[in-house]
């Protein structure tokens, strides 16, 4: 744990529905059990989330599907990274992955979410926020099964899009081979 390091990670880059969530985290004290959010059970992530928010300075940024469709995922990531760096004063910023998306003063590391506690904490904040958001939306659109696939392009999700069309939380700019060439999905219903 380093007080001069802000770890940054995102959740929701790959799904075809739901928000993109980017989190930055500066830990104030060590936390046991941190790891890449994808390697933890939902129950463990939820428990760690509560500990992280009490033991850190953090900032979470969300981009809606409409913003992603309008600006593109890369520009949203860039804007989110810049916002975190503006809101969390630190001497070093480390983003999980291999691209800075053109943001100066940002370092990257592949698999940082498994190696660096601050990035692991950011990974958990982003994933839990993303999943909570989409589970809430699932109540409005129960026919898509968002609570099961969290917006990823699973076979079930693709079948539901074919049957019901896109909802307002689908990323319409994402081209899905499973929905082509028959003219993609049904028209948007919402």
Q: What is the CATH number of the domain that holds 25?
A: 3.30.420.10
User: Which token pair is 82?
Assistant: 């810049």
Question: Using CA atoms, how far apart are residues 66 and 87, in angstroms rounded to an integer?
Answer: 24
Higher pLDDT, 178 or 89: 89
Question: DSSP assignment of 5-53, as one string?
Answer: EEEEEEE-SS-SBS-EEEEEEEESS--TT---GGGS-HHHHHHHHHHHH
170 lies in some domain: no
Q: Are the C-beta atoms of residues 118 and 2 closer than 8 Å to each other?
A: yes
pTM of the model: 0.91
Q: Are the C-beta atoms of residues 28 and 35 closer than 8 Å to each other?
A: no
Question: Using CA atoms, how far apart are residues 172 and 68, in angstroms rounded to an integer?
Answer: 9
92 lies in some domain: yes
Question: Using CA atoms, how far apart are residues 108 and 112, in angstroms rounded to an integer?
Answer: 8
167 lies in some domain: no
> 184 pLDDT exceeds 80?
no
155 lies in some domain: no
Number of domains in the chain: 1
Question: Using CA atoms, how far apart are residues 114 and 175, in angstroms rounded to an integer?
Answer: 31
Residue 185's pLDDT is 46
Question: Using CA atoms, how far apart are residues 11 and 131, in angstroms rounded to an integer?
Answer: 9
190 lies in some domain: no
Average pLDDT over residues 141-150: 94
Which uninterrupted H or E stretch holds 20? strand 20-27
Q: Report the Cα 46 to chain-centroid distance in Å.
A: 15
The boundaries of the domain holding residue 9 are 5-139
36 lies in some domain: yes
172 lies in some domain: no
Residue 181's pLDDT is 53
Q: Are the C-beta atoms of residues 38 and 9 closer than 8 Å to each other?
A: no
160 lies in some domain: no
């Amino acid at each position: 744990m380093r007080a001069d390091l802000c770890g940054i990670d995102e959740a929701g880059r790959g799904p075809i529905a739901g928000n993109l969530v980017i989190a930055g985290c500066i830990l104030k004290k060590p936390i046991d059990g941190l790891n890449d959010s994808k390697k933890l059970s939902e129950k463990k992530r939820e428990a760690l989330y509560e500990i992280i928010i009490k033991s850190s300075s953090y900032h979470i940024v969300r981009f809606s599907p409409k913003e992603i469709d309008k600006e593109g995922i890369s520009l949203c990531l860039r804007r989110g990274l810049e916002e975190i760096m503006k809101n969390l004063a630190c001497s070093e910023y480390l983003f999980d992955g291999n691209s800075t998306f053109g943001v100066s003063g940002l370092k990257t590391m592949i698999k940082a979410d498994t190696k660096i506690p601050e990035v692991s904490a950011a990974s958990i904040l982003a994933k839990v926020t993303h999943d909570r958001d989409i589970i809430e939306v699932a109540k409005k659109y129960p026919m898509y099964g968002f609570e099961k696939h969290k917006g990823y392009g699973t076979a079930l999700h693709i079948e539901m899009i074919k049957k019901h069309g896109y909802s307002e939380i689908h990323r319409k700019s994402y081209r899905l081979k499973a929905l082509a060439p028959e003219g993609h999905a049904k028209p948007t219903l919402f």
